[in-house]
């Protein structure tokens, strides 16, 4: 299914969820409010969700002047992928991680954390960048950013419903129900992003970088550190978790009920099988030791 079709279906499902909460919140009037709110949120998300996510995570724009080898590496890999040069951002957190965002390849960005640059060698870093470029080339980024925005909207409306429902005994039960269902709905939104897209981005990223072992090594390092180093912006904005290459949550959140990423061990095994199969196309990207 194309990225545009998936995005349309996702928006329809999210709109239905928002309208359902609105109907519980205020009957017919709440339903109309939720419909208007959903339409506005969808429109806003299409044009601005990428900027909002970058702002939530304190992203700092890099250039050739201050981005050095990282910007140069992104440019080489983008050329290999047949993509326009995305903007490059640095996230000021010690947790190693990365994500891509943007409504299309012409308006895209790759963001990496400070911690990622500290623990990966050049081959591993190239694997991560290539994985994110694969998301851009497959147009997953619009789906991910819209999902994050809509999940946050559902949670917000659920919280509104909680406070409104608490005003009277008759609505108290509905308010409590909304409090319970809103996080579940947000989790289901994250699961709506098929976990297979991570496998696909791993495979395409390995092809873009030319060395699946690099991405495999990076995933092992990132997964090991992500559960030990807290990513404060991600903990504050859990709806954005599905955008990262490895789940950034865990330092404060104990729930694993809604897994947005396939098991890291399985991803590594698939990448190593690609390398041992001898079918990997070399991209020509120069890779040297750190």
Catalytic residues: 132
Q: Number of helices and strands (H, E) in the chain? A: 10, 4
**Both tokens assigned to 189:** 């939104």
Residue 99, Cβ density class (10 Å: 0-12 exposed, 13-18 middle, ≥19 buried): buried
Residue with tokens 């120069």: 286
Using CA atoms, how far residue 114 sits from 39, 98, 136, 162, 231, in Å, is 36, 10, 21, 38, 11
Residue 290, Cβ density class (10 Å: 0-12 exposed, 13-18 middle, ≥19 buried): exposed
**Both tokens assigned to 267:** 């991803």
Closest Cα partner for 99 from 262, 107, 108? 108
Query: With the C-alpha atoms ordered 263, 109, 155, 45, is the resulting torsion angle positive or negative?
Result: negative
Give kind and range of the element (H or E) at residue 145.
helix 140-165
**Both tokens assigned to 64:** 């050739």
């Amino acid at each position: 299914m194309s990225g545009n079709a998936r995005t349309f279906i996702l928006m329809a499902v999210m709109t239905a969820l928002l309208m359902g909460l609105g109907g519980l919140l205020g009957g017919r009037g709440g339903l109309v409010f939720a419909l208007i709110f959903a339409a506005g949120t969808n429109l806003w998300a299409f044009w601005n969700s990428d900027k909002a996510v970058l702002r939530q995570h304190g992203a700092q724009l890099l250039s050739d002047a201050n981005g050095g080898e990282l910007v140069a590496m992104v440019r080489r890999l983008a050329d290999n992928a047949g993509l326009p040069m995305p903007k490059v951002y640095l996230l000021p957190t010690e947790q190693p991680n990365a994500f891509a965002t943007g409504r299309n390849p012409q308006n895209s960005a790759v963001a990496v954390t400070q911690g990622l640059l500290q623990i990966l060698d050049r081959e591993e870093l190239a694997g991560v960048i290539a994985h994110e470029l694969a998301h851009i080339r497959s147009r997953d980024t619009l789906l991910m950013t819209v999902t994050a925005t809509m999940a946050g909207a559902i949670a917000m409306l659920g919280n509104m419903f909680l406070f409104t429902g608490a005003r009277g005994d008759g609505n108290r039960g509905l308010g409590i129900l909304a409090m319970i269902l809103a996080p579940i709905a947000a989790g289901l939104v994250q699961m709506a992003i098929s976990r297979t897209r991570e496998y696909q981005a791993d495979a395409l990223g390995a092809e873009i970088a030319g060395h699946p072992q690099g991405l495999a090594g990076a995933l092992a390092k990132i997964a090991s550190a992500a559960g030990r180093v807290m990513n404060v912006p991600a903990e504050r904005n859990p709806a954005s978790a599905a955008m990262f290459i490895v789940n950034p949550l865990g330092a404060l959140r104990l729930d694993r009920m809604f897994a947005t990423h396939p098991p890291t061990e399985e991803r590594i095994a698939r990448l190593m099988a690609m390398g041992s199969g001898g079918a990997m196309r070399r991209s020509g990207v120069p890779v040297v030791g750190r």
